[in-house]
Chains A and B, each alone.
Chain A
Amino acid sequence: MNCTKCPTSTKAVISLPRHNAAFCKDCFTTFVHEQVARAIKSFKMFTPADRILVAVSGGKDSLALWHILLNLGYRADALYVNLGIGSYSEESHRKVQHYAETVAAAHSATLLVHVVEQEAGAGIRELANILHRPTCSTCGTIKRYQFNRAAVEQNYDVMATGHNLDDEAARLLGNVLHWQEEYLDKQSPTLPASVEGFAKKVKPLCRLSEREIAAYAVVNRIDYIVEECPMAKGSKMLLYKEVLNRLETESPGTKQRFYWGFLDKQNKPDAPTESMAEKDQRTLAPCLSCGQPTTADTCSYCKMMAKAKSVPAR
């Protein structure tokens, strides 16, 4: 398979069925940068003058996000929150530190670190036991709190997280399955600093799938933690992603249409509401042939029957 963008035949490293494309290393990196630049622009995330705080975990999404923003020339520092989940936290902390020293430092970007145990006197596992809450939600609460606090206290203009298309599509599926409409508003890729003490939050990777981001990390030699957080095993999020990926394999573009379609609808000003009865009265009229209501001159039943009669019997 060759790169569909290069004029000369260059070997592709990844094919993207939902874009009908295959890319070599360089064209793929350019593609990813363009997708992020488009998200930043269309959702008015930030400008080159803004100071950005990236929430990093040591995983592929957040490190790739930091890397992309620095390469696009943005002023991006990062915050790592060490949750004290044994060797998993130690290794992810090491990966973040390594990236900060070997790559980010050259862009004059700084890594901030917050260790939860130092403040709360307990690791996440202990905290979850004390509070009787599933660990993943405890972890999410702590991270959201610490990132927001750091962004506000240290005067960053905006806080960026590595949420990708798969994360948002899975979350949307969960919210729709349980009709948690009150959460749907929070799924926008840009959340404003609505009140004093709330940082503006953005998701610049919302146009890219999880697989594309992992591929970007591999192609650009970003060393991230591949091992799954031991606390995430069997989470609902993983199940929703698995289901969506099976649909995606059968019909490429499903995840994108699901999430982007939702964003499109959300962005449109509310259409004047018309009841189903009003709509029917406006669009339906008696069929010329049988008199039953139809949107066409002749109803689909009569058309089908006319067609059947026109076929000579065998």
Chain B
Amino acid sequence: MIVQLSHPQRQVEIKGPKRTKELLRELNLVIEAHLVIRGDDLVTEDEMLADADQIEIRPVISGGSLG
């Protein structure tokens, strides 16, 4: 499956089928800091992702000043 990542924008190819949480673990990403989107829809950690799926892993943490 093609996985779209941000910060910086890039794509990686990961072999499916695979559960969302396994995909995140493989990429060393924390669930609390990311959303996994298949097509236009959010998926939960236990969802099985197929090899043909278009996946976006979107970071949800933004920085900014402590002030």
Contact = CB atoms under 8 A, between A and B. Distances in A.
B66 A218 contact: no
A39 B46 CA distance: 31
Interface in B29-56: 30-35, 37, 40-47
Contacts of A241: 33, 61, 63
Interface stretch (A95-103, A149-157, A227-235, A258-266): A227-235
B63 A232 contact: yes
Interface residues of A, number: 46
Q: Which of B41, B47, B66 counts the most chain A CB atoms within 10 A?
A: B66
A13 B42 contact: yes
B43 A226 contact: no
A184 interface: no
Interface of A: 1, 12-15, 22, 59-61, 134, 136-137, 139-141, 144, 166-167, 170-171, 174, 209-211, 213-215, 218-219, 221, 226-229, 232-233, 235-238, 241-242, 245-246, 248-249
Interface in B11-25: none
Given A14-B44, A249-B31, A238 B67 contact: no
B58 A226 contact: yes
Contacts of A166: 61
Contacts of B62: 59-61, 210, 228-229, 232
A134 B65 CA distance: 9
A241 B66 CA distance: 11
A140 B41 contact: no
B30 A249 contact: yes
10 closest residue pairs by CB, A with B? A232-B63, A214-B60, A136-B65, A140-B65, A13-B42, A245-B32, A140-B67, A235-B63, A238-B63, A1-B44
Given A214-B35, A226-B58, A22 B44 contact: yes
A14 B46 CA distance: 10
B10 interface: no
A1 B19 CA distance: 12
A140 B58 contact: no
A60 B6 CA distance: 15
27 contacts: A1-B44, A1-B45, A1-B46, A13-B43, A13-B44, A59-B62, A61-B62, A137-B65, A139-B65, A144-B67, A166-B61, A174-B66, A211-B32, A214-B58, A214-B60, A218-B35, A218-B42, A218-B58, A226-B58, A227-B7, A228-B7, A229-B64, A237-B65, A237-B66, A238-B61, A241-B63, A242-B30
B54 to A, nearest CB: 15
Contacts of A227: 6-7
A171 B66 contact: yes
B64 A140 contact: yes
Contacts of A232: 62-64
A211 B32 CA distance: 7
Contacts of B34: 211
A212 to B, nearest CB: 9
Nearest to B6: A226
A3 to B, nearest CB: 10
A140 B40 CA distance: 33
A226 B59 contact: yes
A59 B45 CA distance: 25
